[in-house]
Amino acid sequence: MTPSTREAELVATFVRLADSLVGGFDVVELLHVLVERCAYFFDATDAGILLPDSTGSLEVVASTSERGQLIGLLQLAADEGPCVEAYLTGQVVSVESIASTYARWPRFASEAAGQGYDATYAIPLRLRDDTIGSLNLYRDRPGPFDDTQAATARALADVATIAILQDRSLRRSDVAREQLQHALDSRVVIEQAKGVMSYAEGISTDEAFERLRARARNSGERLTDVARSVVQAAAPRSES
């Protein structure tokens, strides 16, 4: 792919994120687009997003693979790691070699090595003093993200943060919380639908998710609504 083609795709991604500012967007789909585009543009093995639920507990709401989701969950269970730290501090956390972090985050370092990750770059989803989560990139080789990639990743994270919060949501924290809770609740339904399709069609959960997204795009429905339909269709019907 030529640099000009990549630049054009990057611009298109910014436009897509900016379009969500007009309202009425599917926040779940937005977050999945963000992680997929970030993994693609920044040559990351995986990418994921953590957001807090209504009680303040972090959850994995989007990831590019089951492996990416697992490493996020492992950090939450251990209450340590770059993704958690980026959210708590509001600062970017860059790890060029995960193997060098055993003393700092022993459980994360061990689990990440077991998953085959060697480097990570965690970006807070932050607007001014309000941090609402973290965007996390993982690579299966050690080394830094170059300055241009890092700056662009932060810009994408900033646009996504604004899209989630919006000006009206910043003035009404209850609206912001409702939006984030919607994303978390939707994730549960989507995970259920992935499991149903994986079992029924004999496919991986990653493939099941891609089929769900394809159905949503083709029908013009929200991803969450398509997932809910799959779950409801598989539920046993009560006898009359």
Exposed, middle or buried, 143 (CB in 10 Å: 0-12/13-18/19+)? exposed
Q: Tell me the per-residue pLDDT of 105-137, one tens digit each, with 9 for 90 and over.
A: 999 999 999 999 999 999 999 988 889 899 999
Q: What is the pTM of this model?
A: 0.69
Cα–Cα dist 141/124, whole Å = 22
| Cross-sheet strand order for the sheet of 119-127 | 58-63, 46-52, 130-139, 119-127, 93-95
Mean pLDDT across the chain = 85
7 pLDDT exceeds 90? no
CATH, domain range 3-170: 3.30.450.40
How do residues 131-173 score in pLDDT, each as one tens digit?
A: 989 999 999 999 998 888 888 889 888 888 887 776 445 445 5
- Segment 79-107, tens digit of pLDDT: 999 999 999 999 999 999 999 999 999 99
pLDDT over 70 at 200, yes or no: yes
Is pLDDT larger for residue 11 or for residue 57?
57
